[in-house]
Amino acid sequence: MRATVIHAPHDIRVEEVPDPVVQRPGDAIVRVVLACICGSDLWAYRGEAARKPGQRIGHEFLGVVEETGPEVTEVRRGDLVVAPFMWSDGVCDFCTEGLTTSCEHGGFWGSVGHDGGQGEAVRVPHANGTLVRLPAEAASDDRLLTALLTLSDVMGTGHHAALGAGVRPGSTVAVVGDGAVGLCGVLAARRLGAERIIALGRHETRTALARRFGATDVVAERGQAAVETVRALTRGQGAHAVIEAVGTEQSMRTAVGITRDGGSIGFVGVPHGSGSGLDLSEMFDRNIAVRGGVAPVRAYIPELLPEVLDGTLDPSPVFDLAVDLDGVPGGYKAMDERAALKVLMRN
């Protein structure tokens, strides 16, 4: 088959690779219908996250089950399925509790020896715990299928951030980060009943989408100026719940600055850089909590899926560029240059 391979920073190629086969009794082979490029893939693309030359890449995909091992009971050949961005066994202590990202047998697509999502097919370990079946009729609805793909990562990650931030009915929420995850955080906050949603960003296409998703205010300033503007919008107090969807020291510092005393930061931006941006003394004085991390999106799919299916939750507009498999390297370039927000790949 053909799949996307990363050879070095800025060197992403689509190449012929071995066809995936069932290796263990719990494996399934999924023929990829839709995949996409994640903001976190860019860290590898830019060389800021280490990859061995020849690793596959891509961790968000949706497709049709082609083959199953003898222990696979939850999905069958021909099923339309979505995969979360990590596989998990579904039965260990952590999976049972809903923290599928801490699964004792979990792992990442594209790790050494494993297929990535940006290819023609994927061998899925622990298919029973990992894959979620979708209604077959969704396959013929392009908009819906695209929305369903976001359950593999960005929509679930935005939801995780909103939960970590403690969004409740009536909350004032601020969102740091105008990427697809931040925008899904806006959707998630609205869904959880936020009364006011302040999106931080200056890229007009993105802030327009934030407003469409439910943002009531947009703050274009950065750093200390952003902190002052958010405070001015909130009677000097800051936001009850802050979503941090960037992962840099500076963005976390901004997040702390705009959080109301007693509030929480839901952090889902993969941490980068040497410092955390967390001023523990300020957090102590103002009782600011930090809660989040890698999102157990597998556990959130059952809750979010019905709303995506009935159209009340529609994250599909986060995709603003579609390519085929051969167009994936160009898709990386477009996202790296911020010419595209999030790139969809159609096989």
**Interface residues with its own copies (CB under 8 A)?**
93-94, 97, 99, 101-102, 164, 237, 252, 261-262, 264, 267, 270-271, 276, 278-281, 283-294, 296
For its own copies, the closer CB: 211 or 286? 286
Q: Compute the half-sphere exposure of residue 15: CA atoms within 13 Å on the CB side of its CA.
A: 14
For its own copies, the closer CB: 101 or 128? 101
Distance CA 175, CA 239 (A): 10
For residue 157, the minimal CB distance to its own copies (Å) is: 12
Q: Which helix (H) or strand (E) holds 121?
A: strand 121-124
Distance CA 205, CA 217 (A): 15
Q: Which helix (H) or strand (E) holds 247?
A: none
Torsion of CA 263, 268, 271, 275, to 10 degrees: 0
For residue 293, the minimal CB distance to its own copies (Å) is: 4
| Distance set, CA 300 to CA 146, 154, 182, 252 (Å) | 17, 12, 17, 25
For its own copies, the closer CB: 215 or 252? 252
For residue 78, the minimal CB distance to its own copies (Å) is: 35
List the structure tokens of 224.
């200390």
For residue 250, the minimal CB distance to its own copies (Å) is: 13
Residue 152's CB is within 10 A of a number of other CB atoms, namely 27
For residue 101, the minimal CB distance to its own copies (Å) is: 7
For its own copies, the closer CB: 69 or 84? 84
Asked if residues 143 and 316 have their Cβ atoms less than 8 Å apart, the reply is yes
Sign (positive or negative) of CA dihedral 242, 220, 341, 334 = negative
For its own copies, the closer CB: 136 or 280? 280
Asked if residues 162 and 304 have their Cβ atoms less than 8 Å apart, the reply is no
For its own copies, the closer CB: 170 or 311? 170
For residue 285, the minimal CB distance to its own copies (Å) is: 6
